[in-house]
Structures are given as C-alpha cells and as structure tokens.
C-alpha cells in the first residue's frame, strides 16, 4: 500500500500547521485552485460523456442522488444518540450526504496509479451527489426544529432564508455550477474540441491537486486542535462513519453493475464529507447548528482518514466485491 504522492503534500500541510509554521497560501490562490479543480474534473468527465449515449446513465444518476439523500436521514438518529442536538445532527449529516471533490480526485488518482479502470464519466456522479445530501440535511433540521417548537422549547432565531434562495445557492453555487459547466463544455466540445486547452486543464491536474492538498492540510491541521474541544463523539463520527458509508456506496456500485474502479469511486464518494459546499449551505440554512463541529469532523478527521487510510481500503473492498 503505497501512499499517492499528492497525499504527502496534505501531510506536509498538516505538519506545517502543527509546528505553527508561518506558511499560509493566499486566499485568492485557494479560490483559484478550487475553481480549477472543479472545472478540470467536470471537463474530464464531459469529454468521456461525449463518447457514450447519455440515456444509459440515468439509473446511475438516480442511484447516486438517492444515496446522497439517504445518508443524512440514516445518520440522523445515530448522531442524535451521540447526544448531538437536532440542528447539529442534521447539519453534520448533510456534510456526509454531500461529497468531497478532492477525495474523489485522490481516489481516481490512486486507481489510475494502480492500473484499475473506472467509469470515465464518474465526475457526473460527483456533480449530482453534491446537492441531495444538503437538501436532506435542511429538511431534517426543519423537521427537528418543528418538533422542538411543538414541545414548547426555545425556537432560536428567525429563519433567514427561504427555499427559493437556498435552491439558488445550492444548485447555482460554485461547485455544482463549475462541475456541471465543465461536464457540459467537455461533452459539447468532445476530445478534439478540448485538445487546445488540454495543456491547462488536463495535464497539470495532479500538480494543482497537490498544491490544493497542501492548503487543505493547513486547514485540517488547524482543526485538529478543535478535536479535543468536542471530545470522543467527534472522533467516533469522523472515523466511524466513513467506512460504514463506504460499504453502502460500494454495494450501490455493485448493484449498478459498475467496474471495480467504479465501485471504489462510489465507496469513496459515499464515505466523503463535503467541506466546500456544505459548510456554507448549512451556515445559511441551519444557522443554529455548530459549524465548528461539522468542519472539524468533515475536514479535520474524515478527510485525512479517507485519503490516507480509507481509499486504499475502499479499493480493496471494491476488488473483493467485484471478483
């Protein structure tokens, strides 16, 4: 089990933060890198989409969306048992229901390095799995709040955002917009049409991913100090939830008849937690939830676990399920 080179950059970032180095990537660079990664992942998937009939993908799209939606619903009672309040359980569930694009990128890089084929349009799964988990999380939070109100407890602050504004933020937010936009551009332009921009969007991808992981390492390292504040529960969630969700994702992949690599990718996607779209969406839609708790679990614990330990395990799982 050899660690992919990009993961070392993440570890370097965590180390830099833990030893209190003054290393800091400019915020504009972080923003640029994330835009690049989203567009590049979309484009790559779109080029592959142009080579096949889109109608055959409908079952995969629906299954991915359903998986994303169900994850927060299934996690909710479990998180409540860990003494999280309704808002926290719903918001944290939404982070796990939504997906991490970088976890996807690391998983596909690992598969490529091991010579395991995966469905080349897999970026489509990422794009459609971003939103359903967020919607489920928001619904759960509102349901939990209604229950509390009925019991006569504190109602918290007035609602700041309606469904229209939320749908706008989630569906036209940067992640989904860039992924879907990249997919469309790639599908419309095809392999030949995208050849002129290949030198920017396809070839340097892994180097950019390495740089982004360095930045994520810095952020995740900063979150590690917070783990102590939230105690054992956040560790149980951050380390315990991903493997269980990975098994669920892998089983869905097998049911869809995906390749070994495809099953591994879907396992990694199910196990991943969003740290770009979800925190912002939850801050707006479920402001009473503790944002620090969610980001600590998603980025401080689950993300490092997935890219260092989880993905190699999920690939082994996929191999054992598909052979």
Partner 1 sequence: MINKYPKTLLVIITEAVLENALVRDVRERGAQGWTVAEVHGGGSESVREGAWEADRTIEMKVICEPDVADAIASHVLAAYATNYSVVVYFSAVSVLRPDRY
Contact residues for partner 1 (CB under 8 A)? 27, 156-158, 160-161, 218-219, 222, 275-276, 279-280, 282-284, 287-288, 291-292, 295, 299
DSSP structure string for 214-239: HHHHHHHHHHHHHHHHH-HHHHHHHH
**Closest approach of Cβ 147 to partner 1, in Å?**
19
CB of 265 or CB of 276, closer to partner 1: 276
Task: Please check whether residue 279 is in contact with residue 294, taking contact to mean a CB–CB distance below 8 angstroms.
Answer: yes
| H or E element at residue 310 | none
Q: Judged by CB, which is closer to partner 1: 57, or 227?
A: 227
What are the tokens at 318? 């996929």
Compute the least distance from the CB of residue 156 to partner 1, in Å: 6
Smaller CB distance to partner 1: residue 105 or 295?
A: 295
Residue 35, Cβ neighbours under 10 Å: how many? 13
**Cα 242 to Cα 89: distance, rounded to the nearest angstrom:** 16
Question: Is residue 1 classed as helix, strand or coil in its secondary structure?
Answer: coil
Q: Which of 124, 136, 132 minimizes the C-alpha distance to 89?
A: 136
Q: Nearest 5°: phi and psi at 305? A: -60, -50
Tokens representing residue 185 in the block: 């551009």
Q: Dmax over Cα atoms in the chain, in whole Å?
A: 63
Give the nearest distance from C-beta 226 to partner 1 in angstroms: 10
Question: How far apart are CB 267 and partner 1 at their closest, in Å?
Answer: 25
Nearer to partner 1, 237 or 295 (CB): 295
* Residue 123 beta carbon to partner 1: minimum distance, rounded to whole angstroms: 21
Minimal distance, residue 304 CB to partner 1, in Å: 15
Query: What are the C-alpha distances in Å from 237 to residues 76, 94, 104, 158, 275?
Result: 12, 13, 20, 29, 15
C-beta of 298 vs 318, nearer to partner 1:
298
Specify the residue, 105 or 258, whose C-beta has the smaller distance to partner 1. Answer: 105
CA distance 255 to 84: 33
Enter the DSSP assignment of 54.
G
Quick one: 60 or 280, whose CB is closer to partner 1? Answer: 280
d(CA 213, CA 51) in angstroms, rounded, equals 31
Q: Which H or E element spans position 29?
A: helix 27-49
State in angstroms the smallest separation of the CB of 195 from partner 1. 33
Residue placing its CB nearer to partner 1 in the complex, 41 or 276: 276
- Give the nearer residue to partner 1 in terms of CB position, either 115 or 158: 158
Burial of 288 (0-12, 13-18, 19+ CB in 10 A): middle
CA distances to 66, 85, 88, 96, 189 from 240, rounded to whole Å, are 22, 19, 17, 12, 42
Q: Residue 293 Cβ, how far from partner 1 at the closest point, in Å?
A: 12
CB of 287 to partner 1, least distance (A): 4
């Amino acid at each position: 089990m050899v660690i992919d080179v990009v993961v070392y950059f993440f570890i370097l970032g965590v180390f830099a933060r833990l030893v209190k180095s003054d290393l800091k990537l400019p915020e504009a660079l972080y923003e640029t890198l994330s835009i690049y990664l989203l567009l590049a992942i979309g484009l790559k998937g779109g080029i592959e989409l142009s080579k096949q009939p889109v109608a055959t993908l409908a079952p995969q799209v629906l299954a991915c969306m359903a998986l994303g939606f169900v994850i927060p619903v299934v996690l909710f009672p479990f998180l409540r048992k860990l003494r999280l309040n309704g808002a926290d359980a719903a918001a944290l569930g939404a982070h796990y229901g939504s997906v991490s694009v970088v976890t996807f990128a690391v998983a596909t890089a690992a598969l490529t390095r091991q010579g395991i084929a995966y469905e080349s349009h897999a970026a489509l799964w990422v794009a459609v799995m971003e939103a359903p988990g967020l919607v489920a999380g928001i619904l759960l939070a509102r349901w939990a709040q209604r229950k509390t109100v009925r019991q006569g407890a504190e109602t918290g602050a007035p609602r700041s955002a309606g469904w229209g504004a939320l749908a706008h933020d989630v569906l036209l937010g940067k992640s989904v917009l860039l992924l879907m936009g990249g997919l469309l551009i790639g599908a419309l332009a095809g392999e030949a049409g995208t050849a002129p921009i290949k030198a920017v969007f396809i070839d340097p991808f892994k180097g950019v991913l390495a740089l982004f992981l360095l930045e994520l390492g810095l952020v995740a390292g900063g979150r590690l100090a917070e783990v102590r504040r939230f105690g054992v529960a956040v560790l149980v969630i951050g380390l315990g939830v991903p493997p269980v969700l990975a098994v669920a994702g892998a089983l869905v992949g097998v049911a869809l008849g995906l390749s070994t690599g495809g099953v591994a990718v879907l396992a990694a996607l199910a196990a991943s937690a969003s740290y770009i779209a979800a925190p912002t969406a939850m801050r707006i839609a479920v402001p009473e939830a503790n944002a620090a708790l969610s980001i600590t679990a998603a980025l401080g614990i689950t993300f490092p676990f997935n890219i260092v330990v989880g993905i190699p395990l999920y690939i082994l799982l996929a191999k054992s399920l598909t052979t």
